């Protein structure tokens, strides 16, 4: 016998077994009415599927008594809102006998279920339907906990650039005479006796705001006052630090990103002014020293300041773009 023939025979056996079980549980009148209503070309396959799958396969399985299966089906159908059929079926009110739940209640009686067992099944079902519904209702009325912001990556580029600029400006701020490796101008031939100028003084001097050069031709009021403006470097470092701090807050709040944009822009402007002053002040000093026959070269502090300005400018642009980044929120609600 071919596979197609075997499948057809298997379906036929399941259908016949299902019809027998269906009539046994639901009664001939109910089954005949259902088959008649489902006799159209469209509904006939559905009737066959229900008869084979439910009645021919599940209802014929061992493990549960038919009465137990009937009570399970009653509970499931009642939970779907068929309580009107339950009431009329139990009270004996005259209604069409083709109701699904009504038919299964009569089937439960046919399977040996008593009125008390059907009643207790419905009470058990109703208790859980009502309790679950009211639980969900009360939970929906409870005040929601405050929403916790989700971390956003929008301020990350701006934060990184502002932090890098802050580090560079700190290096410049602790230049000569504190840190001999960072300086704006190097005077003298190569060797240990070179004279180096920084933010708060020069080689061998004390730390102070504003100082005079060792070359008498540079000791003018204007140049002396210009050395005082070198204080702009630590000020710019502090502004860049504020921008970085607000950048950290920007990971959880858009306000932090807005503040980072403001302070990074202010720091970039301050750093740019400081760099212009550096190039003018130490450019004049380098020229004077060279005219007097003394070698003089720009130091690394000039380029560190320029690098900090570029980083802050890029950080400002990145922060401004980060303002429009996505800041999602989640609600931690537990049911």
How far apart are alpha carbons 67 and 131 in whole angstroms? Answer: 26
Residue 130 above 70 pLDDT? no
Task: Categorize the per-residue pLDDT at 328 as very low, low, confident or very high, splitting at 50, 70 and 90.
Answer: low
Q: What integer is the mean pLDDT of 134-156? A: 62
Whole-number pLDDT of residue 331: 45
Lowest-confidence region among 17-31, 97-111, 281-295: 97-111
Which pLDDT score, from 0 to 100, does residue 58 have?
84
Report domain extents, the chain: 1-86+95-140, 155-324
Top-confidence residue, 230 or 193: 230
**For 307-312, what is the mean pLDDT?**
96
Q: List the single range of 78-92, 103-117, 166-180, 281-295 with lowest mean pLDDT.
A: 78-92
CATH 1.20.140.150 fits 155-324, yes or no: yes
- The mean of the pLDDT values for the chain is 81
* Strand-pair partners of 202: 197
Q: How confident is the model at residue 234 (pLDDT cuts 50, 70, 90)?
A: very high
Averaged pLDDT for residues 116-143: 71
Provide, rounded to the nearest whole percent, the portion of the chain with pLDDT above 70. Answer: 80
306 pLDDT tier (thresholds 50, 70, 90): very high
pLDDT at 268: 96
3-state SS class at 197 = strand
- CA 273 to chain centroid, in Å, comes to 40
Ordered strands of the 296-298 beta sheet = 195-197, 185-187, 296-298
Q: Can you say how many angstroms the Cα of residue 242 is from the centroid of all Cα atoms in its chain?
A: 26
159-211, pLDDT tens digit by residue?
999 999 999 999 999 999 999 999 999 998 876 678 999 999 999 899 999 99
Phi-psi sector, 318: left (phi>0), alpha (psi -120 to 50), beta: alpha
Q: Is the pLDDT of residue 231 over 50?
A: yes
pLDDT of residue 197: 95
Q: Which CATH class is domain 1-86+95-140?
A: mainly alpha
Q: 29-75 pLDDT, tens per residue?
A: 888 887 887 778 787 888 788 788 878 888 888 888 888 888 888 87
H helix runs in 189-324, sequence order: 221-228, 232-249, 254-291, 300-322
Q: Judge contact between 182 and 190, C-beta under 8 A.
A: no
């Amino acid at each position: 016998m071919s596979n197609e023939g075997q499948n057809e025979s298997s379906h036929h056996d399941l259908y016949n077994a299902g019809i027998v079980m269906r009539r046994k549980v639901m009664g001939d009148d109910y089954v005949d009415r259902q088959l008649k209503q489902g006799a159209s070309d469209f509904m006939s396959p559905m009737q066959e599927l229900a008869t084979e799958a439910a009645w021919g396969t599940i209802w014929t399985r061992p493990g549960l008594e038919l009465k137990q299966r009937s009570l399970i089906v009653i509970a499931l159908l009642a939970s779907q809102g068929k309580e009107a059929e339950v009431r009329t079926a139990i009270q004996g009110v005259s209604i069409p006998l083709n109701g699904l739940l009504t038919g299964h209640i009569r089937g439960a009686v046919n399977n040996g279920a008593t009125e008390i067992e059907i009643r207790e099944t419905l009470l058990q079902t109703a208790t859980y339907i009502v309790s679950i519904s009211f639980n969900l209702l009360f939970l929906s009325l409870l005040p929601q906990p405050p929403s916790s912001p989700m971390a956003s990556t929008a301020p990350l580029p701006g934060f990184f650039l502002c932090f890098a600029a802050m580090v560079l400006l700190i290096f410049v701020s602790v230049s000569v005479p504190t840190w001999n490796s960072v300086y704006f101008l190097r005077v003298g031939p190569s060797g240990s006796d070179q004279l180096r100028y920084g933010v708060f003084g020069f080689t061998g001097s004390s730390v102070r705001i504003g100082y005079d050069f060792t070359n008498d031709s540079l000791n003018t009021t204007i140049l002396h006052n210009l050395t005082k403006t070198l204080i702009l470097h630590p000020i710019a470092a502090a502004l860049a630090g504020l921008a970085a701090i607000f950048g950290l807050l920007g990971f959880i709040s858009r306000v932090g990103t807005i503040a980072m944009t403001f302070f990074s822009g202010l720091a970039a402007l301050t750093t740019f002014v400081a760099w212009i002053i550096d190039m003018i002040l130490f450019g004049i000093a380098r020229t004077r020293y060279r005219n007097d026959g003394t070698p003089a070269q720009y130091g690394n502090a000039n380029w560190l300041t320029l690098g900090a300005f570029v980083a802050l400018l890029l950080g400002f642009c990145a922060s401004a773009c980060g303002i429009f980044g996505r800041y999602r929120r989640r609600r931690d609600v537990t049911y």
